[in-house]
Amino acid sequence: MSDYVLLTGSTGLLGRYLIRDLLLAGRRVAVLARPSRKETAEQRIEAIMQMWESELGRLLPRPICLEGDICSERLGLDERSLRWVADYCSTMLHSAASLTFHSDGTGEPYRSNVGGTKNMLGLCQATGIRDLHYVSTAYVCGLRDDLCRESELDVGQGFRNDYERTKLEAETLVRQADFLDQLTVYRPAVISGDSKTGYTNTYHGLYLYLRLMAILVPQQDLDEQGRRYTPIRLPMTGDERRNVVPIDWVSEVITHLLQTPQAHGKTFNLAPAKCLTPREIIDAGYKYFNSTGVQYVGDEAIDPTTYNRFEAEFLPSIGMYDNYKATDPTFDCSNLRKYAGHLPCPVIDEEILHQYIRFGEEDRWGKRRQRAAVVEWDVAGELQKLVSPTDPSEQLTNGHTPVALGLEVAGPGGGTWTLRLSGDRIVSLDKGLSANGAKLVRVTSVALAELLGRETTDVVAHFRNHLKNGSSDTSLSWDDLDQGSTSPSDIHATSAD
């Protein structure tokens, strides 16, 4: 079996960061994705990859994309995909989840969080995956105000909403899966945007408050001092603790722990060392917009009939978070400190909060049209044209034993394949890299496009020449394959192990 990680939730906020970080860490990754109304599953993943390439200024290898749905039995994979998972995937990283707080007409969040987890476990059992890394939430703790330990789960706690309840049920299910050899659980606190860029693709939680401020505050005229007065009473002290963690840190930590065998089989609370408070959020927003006017009234109930126009717009909009007005519990992070103590959580300060606002404004708070993937050359299609199948009897006659060759293509339309060469022919092309010790050729999609403009015989000879000259211990950093260095010479042979 090859050593692929199968990732669910790949188009979500956490999922897209995990794709990036796992690939940069050198892991082989397969992702489960659904098509949208306008894009195929592969197009959605390609758009994510091109987003990362644009931000990083470098080309990246591509994950294997499997079309499926966590809400379907065995994740909706067809028989061919099921066989592929059984042959190639050794690890499941389940990050897919519904963030719906209360049950709705679609059956969420139970449908995804409980049903999806059952389907994921069914797939693992059917395909022989015995190593599960499961993304839960710190809020399986429910309505607790004491120290919530990593070793605890169900202690008879109540819950604020169906989301918390379903995540506890789902974590219970994975802990009861006796066919697993190893279970590692990650419990992130409230996830916010990127601490460096402000990026997010979901405007819930912290971003909802910032978005409302960005909409309401500029509506008020400036006073003589150039400030805006926006009187709003908030039913809190302003000093309640909020466990908020940036998405880039969460992904970095999960990737590190997944890559650290000594950390496997444990549970990790991914919570900050320093909590955020509503007062810090409001103060940062008011400084950004040069405004004032918030009054914290503690637990005092505010009569809706006394709302001013700002309160009438603001308070009902944040009503879904009323059950989170109380201070957060404290999370025990002993395992986190032991195995990832060198990766401290960034403190979400005024500078980061301002970055969140700037990104939200640039993104029009989620309404900016997202850039679609641009693929000018169909790598898979062009490779398939070169395949000339042969039967075993012909191989015996001509004396050629097929030689396996791994091909990893970085850049737009890229991917990974295993080719089998017989003489001057490519006799088969399979998705993914096998674990049979075959040599690996790494190339950019632009360089491969130039190379495949030649005759098939020349292409195979070119590959064979690189394999002949390539040392089995040769390695290549993807830093060497940036957008400025794509030419036919950017082809390197190494070992597939």
Closest to 139 in 3D by CA, of 274, 328, 6: 328
CB 41, CB 275: distance < 8 Å: no
The radius of gyration computed from the CA coordinates of the chain, to the nearest angstrom, equals 26
- The domain defined by 204-241+274-325+344-373 folds into UDP-galactose 4-epimerase; domain 1 (3.90.25)
Kind and range of the H or E element at 468?
A: helix 456-469
Q: Which residues contact 393 (CB under 8 A, 6 or more apart)?
A: none
The answer on pLDDT for 422 being more than 90 is: no
The single-letter code of the amino acid at 2 is: S
For 6, the enclosing helix (H) or strand (E) is strand 4-8
For the chain, how many helices (H) and strands (E)?
Answer: 16, 18
CB-hemisphere CA count at 13 Å for 376?
6
Orientation angle between helical segments 206-216 and 278-289, nearest 10 degrees: 30
Question: Which residues contact residue 150 at a Cβ distance below 8 angstroms, ignoring those fewer than 6 apart?
Answer: 187, 266, 267, 268, 269, 332, 333, 334, 335, 336
User: In sequence order, what are the residues at sequence separation of 6 or more whose Cβ sits closer than 8 angstroms to the Cβ of residue 468?
Assistant: none
Rounded to the nearest integer, the mean pLDDT of the chain is: 89
Q: SS3 for 254? A: helix
Phi-psi region for residue 183, left (φ > 0), alpha (ψ -120 to 50) or beta?
beta
Mean pLDDT to the nearest integer, 218-228:
89
The pTM of the whole model exceeds 0.85 = yes
Residue 160 and residue 88: Cα distance in Å, rounded?
Answer: 40
| Cα gap 219→228, rounded to integer Å | 9
| The CATH number of domain 1-188 is 3.40.50.720 | yes
Where along the chain do its domains lie?
Answer: 1-188, 204-241+274-325+344-373, 379-495
Distance CA 98, CA 464 (A): 48
| pLDDT for 267 beyond 80 | yes
What is the three-class DSSP state of 191?
strand
pLDDT(19) > 70: yes
Average pLDDT, stretch 195-203? 96
Please tell me the predicted confidence (pLDDT) of residue 262. 98
Q: What is the pLDDT of residue 489?
A: 39
For 407-445, letters b (16+ CB in 10 Å) and e give: bbbbbbbbbbbbbbbbbebbbbbebbbebeebbbbbbbb
Are 129 and 181 in contact by the 8 Å Cβ rule? The answer is no
Distance of CA 180 to the CA centre of its chain: 23
Q: How far apart are CA 248 and CA 405, in angstroms?
A: 35
CA distance 292 to 217: 9
Residue 481's pLDDT band (cuts 50, 70, 90):
very low
Is 494 within 8 Å of 474 (Cβ atoms)?
yes
pLDDT digits (tens, 9 = 90+) for 93-128: 999 999 999 998 899 999 999 999 999 999 999 999
Instruction: Please check the confidence at residue 348 and state whether its pLDDT lies above 50.
Output: yes
| Span 3-7, average pLDDT | 97
Spacing of C-alpha 313 from chain mean position: 33
Residue pair 216/167 in contact (Cβ under 8 Å)? The answer is: no
What percent of the chain clears pLDDT 70, i.e. is strictly above it? 90
Q: Which residues pair with 431 in a beta bridge?
A: 417
pLDDT at 181 over 60: yes
Residue 368 has pLDDT above 70, yes or no: yes
Q: Which of 44-53, 175-184, 186-195, 371-380 has the lowest mean pLDDT?
A: 371-380
The whole-number average pLDDT for the span 249-256 is 99
Name the band, by pLDDT with cuts 50, 70 and 90, for residue 485: very low
Instruction: With a cut of 50, say whether residue 374 has pLDDT above it.
Output: yes
Task: Please state, in angstroms and rounded to a whole number, the distance separating the CA atoms of residues 345 and 94.
Answer: 22
Q: Are 249 and 343 in contact (CB under 8 A)?
A: yes
Q: Which amino acid is at 60?
A: L
**Contact indicator for 433, 406 with CB cutoff of 8 Å:** yes
The neighbour count for residue 154, using CB atoms within 10 Å, is 12
Asked if pLDDT for residue 466 goes beyond 70, the answer is: no
Phi-psi domain of 128 (left: phi exceeds 0; alpha: psi -120 through 50; beta: other): left
Q: Which residues of 290-304 are buried (b: 16+ CB within 10 A; e: fewer)?
A: ebbbbebeeeeeeee
pLDDT at 87 over 60: yes
Whole-number pLDDT of residue 300 = 84
Range with lowest mean pLDDT among 4-13, 193-202, 240-249, 314-323: 314-323
User: 42-55, pLDDT tens digit by residue?
Assistant: 999 999 999 999 99
Q: What is the rounded distance in angstroms from the CA atom of residue 247 to the CA atom of residue 236?
A: 27
Q: Can you give the pLDDT at residue 491?
A: 45
Q: What is the pLDDT of residue 400?
A: 66
